[in-house]
């Protein structure tokens, strides 16, 4: 009688390694790059097969393979082998997964941006934005970070917070629960922290997509041996992709703000980088990165000619956490330049109930609203 592994190899049409690794039966359906250790098959004490792949897009092909394998194993055990010999159909490559169409960002059209900005006569200052913010911005900046996270994410959401940009995050804010200081590596327990960080060398960021909080293998990152590295901030760790970030690195803040306030898109928050730039958070409510990327194309086509940075519009995006201090900046050659005085990442506008078709410019000012009452 053949071993269950041999039966699996016959169906696959190729050998399975000592460690159970082999090319995934659904590799052609992977939407991220395939690696030699992505897929693994093992047999439990009863010889029952189990399998796992780091990718999700191949699930259908893997289910199909497992059904064929179960049938072949039971045929083998009943001694009916030969009446229905499995066909090694996985030798044939499956058709490739369809690729999302990529649009090319347009170059900045300065005349168009200037003409659009010129439609707003009054000057849009930080004070103007605060006066028109539907949620009142408190005087104490230390309250801003938590206010923004509480207003924009449902209770129980887990938001990753960073004091180092290129890292796996240092804090977790759980809406309705509080702040946790996270371990640097898998297996290190998070501990409750009194508050969000006050500042960072280059400032403080939050991941705009809520996460599970678990470490997961990152299909985009491998160690020198080719194994997937664990991470807690890549797209497989995110539970939804609710917002995109609009920022401009080629327009002056006054022109950019005059454009932002006219947009019909649901802008839920506006804040500064602690440097010169002003960022807007827009509600897109995408469930998956694929859905996010489909939505993003429209934004890039429409807003890249008037100064929006297309490269900043990604499903997994760190954005400045308002109310935190930025102590310096990293210059062109990687040298750190400390500011004379720390700069505040300022919260300028907050509107969790933003809907499409109501530009910031149409929001009544706080004074007007009080007068109406």
Contact pattern from residue 285 through residue 314 relative to Zn ion, giving x for each residue in contact according to CB under 5 A and a dash for the rest = ------------------------------
Stretch that binds Zn ion, among 9-17, 50-58, 87-95, 290-298 (CB under 5 A): 50-58
Per-position x/- string for 20-39, each x denoting binding to Zn ion as judged by CB under 5 A, each - no binding: ----x-x-------------
3-state SS, residue 17:
coil
Indicate the residue among 28 and 348 with the shorter CB distance to Zn ion.
28
Query: Can you tell me the distance from the alpha carbon of 345 to that of 205, in angstroms, rounded to the nearest whole number?
Result: 10
Judged by CB under 5 A, which of 8, 53, 161, 325 binds Zn ion?
53
Q: What is residue 215's DSSP assignment? A: -
The closest of 21, 57, 56, 26 to 39, measured between CA atoms, is: 21
CB nearer Zn ion, residue 202 or residue 218 = 218
Looking at beta carbons only, is 65 or 243 nearer to Zn ion?
A: 65
Pinpoint the alpha helices (H) of 37-142. 59-78, 110-117, 126-131
Question: Which whole-number Å values give the CA distances from 273 to 194, 291, 326, in the listed order?
Answer: 24, 27, 8
Q: Given the complex with Zn ion, which of 31 and 109 has the nearer CB atom? A: 31
What one-character-per-residue DSSP string does 243-302 give? EEEE--SSS-HHHHHHHHTT--S-EEEEEE-SSS-EEEEEEEEESSHHHHHHHHHHHHHH
Pairing of strands 178-181, 191-193: antiparallel
Q: Based on the number of CB atoms within 10 Å of its own CB, is 18 exposed (0-12), middle (13-18) or buried (19 or more)?
A: exposed
In the complex, least distance from residue 94 CB atom to Zn ion, rounded to whole angstroms? 11
Does the protein bind Zn ion through residue 245 (CB under 5 A)?
no
The distance of closest approach from Cβ of residue 66 to Zn ion in the complex, given in angstroms and rounded to an integer, is 12
Size of the site for Zn ion (CB under 5 A): 5
Q: Which stretch binds Zn ion (CB under 5 A): 45-53, 72-80, 309-317, 338-346?
A: 45-53
Span interacting with Zn ion, options 52-60, 114-122, 164-172, 177-185, rule CB under 5 A: 52-60
Does residue 55 touch Zn ion according to CB under 5 A?
A: yes
End-to-end Cα separation, the chain, in angstroms: 85
- Measured CA to CA, the distance from residue 313 to residue 282 in angstroms comes to 10
Tell whether residue 58 is a contact of Zn ion (CB under 5 A). Answer: yes
Place of tokens 């201090």: 325
Shortest CB 10 distance to Zn ion, Å: 20
- Binding segment for Zn ion (CB under 5 A), chosen from 58-66, 88-96, 191-199, 208-216, is 58-66
Q: Is 197 in the site for Zn ion (CB under 5 A)?
A: no
* CB 217 to Zn ion: min, Å: 12
Query: Which residue lies nearer to Zn ion by CB, 65 or 292?
Result: 65
Measured in whole angstroms, the distance separating CA 227 from the mean position of its chain's CA atoms is: 22
CA 15 – CA 308 distance, rounded (Å)? 50
DSSP 21: B
**Any contact of residue 41 with Zn ion (CB under 5 A)?**
no
Contact 287, 293 (CB under 8 A): no
190 vs 369: CA distance, rounded Å: 44
We find the least distance from the C-beta atom of residue 21 to Zn ion, in angstroms, to be 12
The distance of closest approach from Cβ of residue 27 to Zn ion in the complex, given in angstroms and rounded to an integer, is: 6
Neighbours of 229 (CB within 10 A): 14
Give the nearest distance from C-beta 65 to Zn ion in angstroms.
10
242 binds Zn ion (CB under 5 A): no
Site residues (CB under 5 A) for Zn ion? 24, 26, 53, 55, 58
């Amino acid at each position: 009688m053949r071993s269950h592994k041999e039966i699996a190899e016959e169906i696959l049409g190729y050998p399975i390694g000592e460690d159970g690794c082999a090319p995934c039966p659904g590799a052609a359906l992977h939407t991220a790059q395939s690696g030699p250790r992505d897929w693994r098959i093992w047999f439990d004490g009863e010889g029952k097969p189990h399998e796992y792949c780091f990718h999700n897009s191949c699930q259908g092909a893997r289910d199909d393979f497992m059904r064929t394998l179960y049938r072949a194993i039971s045929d083998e055990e009943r001694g009916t082998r030969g009446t229905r010999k499995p066909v090694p159909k996985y030798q044939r490559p499956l058709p490739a997964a369809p690729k999302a169409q990529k649009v090319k960002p347009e170059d900045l059209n300065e005349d168009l941006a200037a003409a659009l900005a010129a439609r707003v006569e009054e000057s849009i200052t930080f004070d103007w934005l605060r006066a028109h913010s539907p949620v009142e911005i408190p005087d104490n900046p230390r309250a801003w970070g938590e206010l923004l996270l509480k207003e924009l994410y449902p209770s129980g959401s887990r938001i990753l917070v960073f004091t180092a940009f290129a890292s796996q995050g240092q804090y977790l804010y759980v809406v309705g629960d509080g702040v946790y200081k996270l371990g640097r590596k898998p297996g290190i327990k998070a501990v409750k922290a009194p508050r969000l960080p006050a500042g960072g060398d280059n400032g403080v960021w939050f991941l705009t997509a809520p996460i599970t909080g678990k470490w997961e293998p990152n299909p985009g990152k491998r160690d020198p041996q080719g194994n997937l590295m664990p991470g807690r901030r890549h797209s497989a760790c995110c539970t939804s992709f609710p917002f995109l970030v609009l920022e401009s690195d080629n327009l002056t803040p006054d022109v950019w703000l005059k454009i932002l306030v006219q947009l019909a898109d649901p802008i839920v928050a506006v804040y500064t980088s602690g440097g010169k730039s002003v960022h807007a958070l827009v509600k897109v409510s995408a469930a998956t990165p694929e859905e996010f990327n489909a939505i993003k194309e429209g934004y890039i086509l429409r807003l890249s000619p008037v100064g929006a940075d297309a490269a900043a519009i990604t499903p997994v995006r760190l954005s400045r956490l308002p109310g935190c201090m930025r102590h310096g900046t990293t210059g062109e050659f990687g040298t750190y330049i400390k500011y004379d005085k720390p700069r505040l990442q300022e919260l300028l506008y907050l509107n969790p109930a933003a809907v499409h078709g109501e530009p910031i410019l149409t929001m009544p000012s706080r004074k007007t609203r009080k007068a109406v009452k």
